[in-house]
Structure 1
């Protein structure tokens, strides 16, 4: 563990025999993770990403304590992702993984405390912990907004969503649609883009990537929804920190979003977690 710079941003750097990673002070955001035996980076970070204090495009932004648009002048996706974070503690575990605990230098919401736990090794484990430290019940939505690096988003498939309903942001989340088969970007009803919140999901997903010859196995706990987002060619090129990079990522965001809200009674804690494992297929597509 050391302090350093990654993609022009001040970070904590993990570099072991098992994995490399970079965690930004800005937003407590995981910017990079690559197991030692992986042929490619697992996360996508935009080469056009703006610098702090703007949000960083890529990696795993922390959307907290709300997901989506804020009311009035409040920023989209909450307050955590643009705050300065501090490293509380870190340790080297017996299996060679590095465990870190981070929190904002100042908690952004009175009555709520947010803490991030990371375990960096051949497998990634990430948890967003929220504690209600006040004396009134509070509700929140949130997401681990993961940008997964893919060879060509038009060729990937996502298993684990067949049979689930979803709400489409392009339709204002107005009516539930039904997923049949694996997710693909070429849905004939809305081809070439995706901004969906899948509901009542089971927390086990597989992102299959024939171009990079690998799959990413993602498991979530504390979540009953998954956001699947890629803006497509037109949307990506309209974003000055995405451009043509839209083709090389897919956001699979373990979340509590839209209708999936967390109700926190005083003195209680909620944990939103994901576990990511790389499965190399040793085949090209």
Structure 2
């Protein structure tokens, strides 16, 4: 097992009162909470606001962290689970350990695993590649003799200047299931934007294309999320009324929007015996596009 001290640019520290792996490379900095295995910070070189939002009013563990990228596994929400199990699964409240890591020409690569989940029939491993981009992989292994069914998500909380002014490109014409409307289906017309009344969103887009652009004019940036083997997109913001009842959100609801890589709802994953299923996402930051050409990388 690799220790952080063996990897150049990696150390153990404290962020927002949480024990964390702190990563520093020429291309970016990042922090990973060992509680929940959550990436809680990613800042490309050149500074600027963090790409990820973390609640300024975090509850103490074992309450799950609000912000960063929670790992929802081995099920998303409660997808068919009884009411007495934790929402979004067990991984986000487990203690994670570093199992391997290395410095690469592109930055740092880390492997982590959750501890205390040996009673489950599945095994989980996470890979992080931190450099110009943040690459994030979830690997589910089925060591058993029967197929196993999972749902999953990387529940990204992206920091924005004002959620009422941002849009998400890449979802046009898709049918989504609206959890604020009893999961009834609707068709997305144009870019996603927060509805005006009521100003909230909890939309699950099955069979989504895998590339999404979060365009934030207030911070003059575009966050691109590219997903591989994640068939579902989720876009969530609770809005003012729901957030008022959430101690770790409250008046901060305008500061984030969740654009999530997932396999959820009808997009269930079956992992054959002895097989491993992997879902990947890559997060990169660019300047606002002009609508005609490709994105211009923000200079460091």
TM-score w.r.t. the length of structure 1 is 0.95
**2:102 is matched with which residue?**
91
Please say if residues 222 and 289 of structure 2, whose CA atoms lie closer than 8 Å, have aligned partners that are also in contact. Answer: no
CA distance in 2, matches of 1:207, 1:74: 32
Closer, same or farther: CA 139–109 of 1 in aligned 2, 3 Å: farther
Gap regions ≥5 residues in structure 1: none
**1:82 is matched with which residue?**
93
CA distance in 1, matches of 2:144, 2:60: 34
1:40-59 matches, within 5 Å, as 40-59=49-68
CA distance in 1, matches of 2:56, 2:289: 28
Asked if 1:138 is matched to 2:148, the reply is yes
Asked if 1:220 is matched to 2:231, the reply is no
Asked if 1:177 is matched to 2:186, the reply is yes
- Partner of 2:54, secondary structure, is coil
Please say if residues 32 and 39 of structure 2, whose CA atoms lie closer than 8 Å, have aligned partners that are also in contact. Answer: yes
**1:24 is matched with which residue?**
33
CA distance in 1, matches of 2:152, 2:236: 15
Post-superposition offset of 1:282? 9.9
**1:247 is matched with which residue?**
254
1:58-207 matches, within 5 Å, as 58-69=67-78, 70-95=81-106, 97-173=107-183, 175-186=184-195, 191-207=198-214
- Partner of 2:31, secondary structure, is strand
Q: RMSD between aligned alpha carbons?
A: 1.5
Please say if residues 38 and 278 of structure 1, whose CA atoms lie closer than 8 Å, have aligned partners that are also in contact. Answer: no
Please say if residues 195 and 201 of structure 2, whose CA atoms lie closer than 8 Å, have aligned partners that are also in contact. Answer: no
CA distance in 2, matches of 1:111, 1:231: 33
| Counterpart among 225, 228, 240 of residue 233 in structure 1 | 240
Post-superposition offset of 1:108? 4.8
CA distance in 2, matches of 1:181, 1:159: 8
- Partner of 1:2, secondary structure, is strand
Asked if 1:270 is matched to 2:277, the reply is yes
TM-score w.r.t. the length of structure 2 is 0.90
Please say if residues 185 and 192 of structure 1, whose CA atoms lie closer than 8 Å, have aligned partners that are also in contact. Answer: yes
Gap regions ≥5 residues in structure 2: 1-9, 291-300
Post-superposition offset of 1:117? 0.3
